[in-house]
Amino acid sequence: MKTLPPTAIDAFRAHFAGEVLTPDDDNYDDIRQIWNAMIDRRPALIARCSSADDVMRAVDFTREHDLIASVRGGGHNIAGNAVCNDGLLIDLSLMKQVRIDPETRRASVEPGCTLADFDVAAQEHGLATPLGINSTTGVAGLTLGGGFGWLSRKYGMTIDNLLGADVVTADSRQIHASESENPDLFWGLRGGGGNFGIVTRFEFQLHPVGPEVLSGLIVFPFEQAGAVIQKFADFTQTMPEELNVWMVTRQAPPLSFLPDQVHGTPIVALALCYAGDPDTGAQLIEPLRRFGTVLGEHVGVQPYVAWQQAFDPLLAPGARNYWKSHNFTQLEAGAIDAIIEYVDTLPSPHCEIFVGTIGGQTTRPSPEAMAYSSRDANYVMNVHARWETPEGDEKCIGWARDFFARTQPFASGGAYINFLTEEEADRIEFAYGATYQRLVELKGRYDPTNLFRMNQNIQPAHEPSLASGL
């Protein structure tokens, strides 16, 4: 591990309002842990920032001591880029302020906030913006990679609702990015990940949602998976944009609305949310119940914040996780057959394959309008391998990779970078497609030495030789 002079650490602490931790501190091991238990890295120093000024000081320290830097928001990213070995972990998780202006329907959100923090504050005013589906996810990482969830068909990607951002750049300047200020940087932040700086404040457009929405799960037997998934594919092509329906297939968790004999057996579930009048939504979802023999359902009007937290128990921290993902413009029969084939060989009771439906408003912007370019994607599929011990690594990772390869012929272009694992650097250019070369040029302007490289990294055209630091 890199050894930093104690005098340098003391000088850093003296001008740092937050908390600075070394490996000798009692809470060092707790703080360095992130959501994916496969990631076990030991930074030389952890800087727990309390303000944008702290972030600027941390970036200065990184440059002065030639350290690799990682940036932690919610710490939920599958690749584990929030934490580095032998460098400086710039931890933003203490910066959790959310301010809501209900008159202008705007939100100011700090980078340590989770979806739950944002959702709760906005829903006090009956407002929301499209985010993810797991409330412990960090707003910052989700947004910078694109962001989508239950509201995206109606209101677009998370980045489509980003109005501006305060950013600390690699040379420790603090600047604002929006359509009118530093628009080139604003373009890159909307999908370009953490490549161009550290965002210390996001400004979002809000929309009237809830505070109660029609939502829930309808569960079918796996024996009917072929018919159910095909009907799901057909239904989602024509449903109104206020309605979103996702498909997940896995072993049934011990849900109270399912018979005991179903627990632990393969099932197909449809998860739904209607961002409109619940009575209208109830009529629209009625055909879903005729897709097959319903084993059980839990559908009703509930608080939007509760629905946003419904899947948290299945995504709790501490497990080992590995993902592979494809975009689809449509779900072809071959892809459906592959889903059925691989769910029949689940290597762990926690593994699953889900298909998130987007489309609608997410397809309206031009592919070149911002860094995220996959505007033809109507579905994002994630094969989620999840297990408990290192002994399961080979089997579970192999299963996910095999399924990914099996479904490749049916996928469309691009990829969702928030779902890329750490070894998928070769897919980054493919993920961005038409915007990649512009991102390379932008990286050269804002981070020519690739200081911010613990991410799905876009390397500047003439990057100096740097150690990976992983």
CATH of the domain at 136: 3.30.465.10
Four-point Cα dihedral 233, 237, 240, 245, nearest 10:
20
Per the domain annotation, does 428 fall within a domain? no
Whether 322 and 391 map to the same domain: the answer is yes
Angle in degrees, 0-180, between the axes of helices 225-238 and 333-343, rounded to the nearest 10: 140
Residue 470 is predicted with a pLDDT of 47
Q: Give the end of a domain, one of 36, 57, 91.
A: 91
Whether 359 and 261 map to the same domain: the answer is yes
Q: What is the mean pLDDT of the chain?
A: 95
Whether 225 and 373 map to the same domain: the answer is yes
SS3 content of the chain, % helix, strand, coil (to 5): 35, 25, 45
Q: Other CB atoms closer than 10 Å to residue 431's CB: what's the count?
A: 26
Q: Give the end of a domain, one of 41, 76, 91.
A: 91
User: How many domains does the chain divide into?
Assistant: 3
Q: Is the pLDDT assigned to residue 251 strictly greater than 90? A: yes
Residue 1 is predicted with a pLDDT of 62
Residue 462 is predicted with a pLDDT of 67
Nearest C-alpha neighbor of 124 from the set 104, 96, 150, 102: 102
Residue 5 is predicted with a pLDDT of 86
Q: Is the pLDDT assigned to residue 83 strictly greater than 70? A: yes
Residue 433 is predicted with a pLDDT of 93
**pLDDT tens-digit profile of 86-106?**
999 999 999 999 999 999 999
Whether 195 and 265 map to the same domain: the answer is no
Q: Which helix (H) or strand (E) holds 106?
A: strand 106-109
Cα–Cα distance, 412 to 435 (Å, whole number): 16
Asked if the bond preceding 111 is cis, omega within 30° of 0, the reply is no
If 0-12 CB within 10 Å is exposed, 13-18 middle and 19+ buried, where does residue 332 land?
A: middle
Cα–Cα distance, 248 to 237 (Å, whole number): 17
Whether 401 and 324 map to the same domain: the answer is yes
Cα–Cα distance, 114 to 117 (Å, whole number): 5
Per the domain annotation, does 174 fall within a domain? yes
**pLDDT tens-digit profile of 114-128?**
999 999 999 999 999
Per the domain annotation, does 449 fall within a domain? no
Whether 201 and 236 map to the same domain: the answer is no
Whether 150 and 264 map to the same domain: the answer is no
Q: How far is CA 10 from CA 56, 72, 262, 321, 430, in A?
A: 17, 22, 59, 37, 44
CATH number at residue 295: 3.40.462.20
Greatest C-alpha distance within the chain: 70
**pLDDT tens-digit profile of 348-371?**
999 999 999 999 999 999 999 999
If 0-12 CB within 10 Å is exposed, 13-18 middle and 19+ buried, where does residue 427 land?
A: middle
Whether 177 and 158 map to the same domain: the answer is yes
Residue 467 is predicted with a pLDDT of 37
CATH number at residue 72: 3.30.43.10
Whether 227 and 375 map to the same domain: the answer is yes
Residue 374 is predicted with a pLDDT of 95
Q: Which tokens hold the place of 107?
A: 């939100």
Domain that holds residue 51: 6-91
Per the domain annotation, does 159 fall within a domain? yes
The pTM for the full model equals: 0.94
Q: Is the pLDDT assigned to residue 450 strictly greater than 70? A: yes
Per the domain annotation, does 54 fall within a domain? yes
Q: Is the pLDDT assigned to residue 463 strictly greater than 60? A: no
Residue 176 is predicted with a pLDDT of 98
DSSP 233-282: HHHHHHS-TTEEEEEEEEEPP--TTS-GGGTTSEEEEEEEEE-S-HHHHH
How confident is the model over 390-411, as a mean pLDDT?
97
DSSP 333-394: HHHHHHHHHHHTT-SSTT-EEEEEE--GGGGSS-TTSSS---TT-SEEEEEEEEESSGGGHH
Whether 376 and 230 map to the same domain: the answer is yes
Residues sharing a CB contact under 8 Å with residue 334, sequence separation 6 or more, in sequence order: 407, 409, 410
Residue 3 is predicted with a pLDDT of 74
% of the chain at pLDDT higher than 70: 98
Per the domain annotation, does 435 fall within a domain? no
Q: Which tokens hold the place of 33?
A: 């842990």
Whether 52 and 163 map to the same domain: the answer is no
Per the domain annotation, does 442 fall within a domain? no
Q: Band the pLDDT of 469: cuts 50, 70, 90.
A: very low
Q: Give the end of a domain, one of 158, 174, 208.
A: 208
Higher pLDDT, 469 or 79: 79
Whether 368 and 401 map to the same domain: the answer is yes
Per the domain annotation, does 424 fall within a domain? no
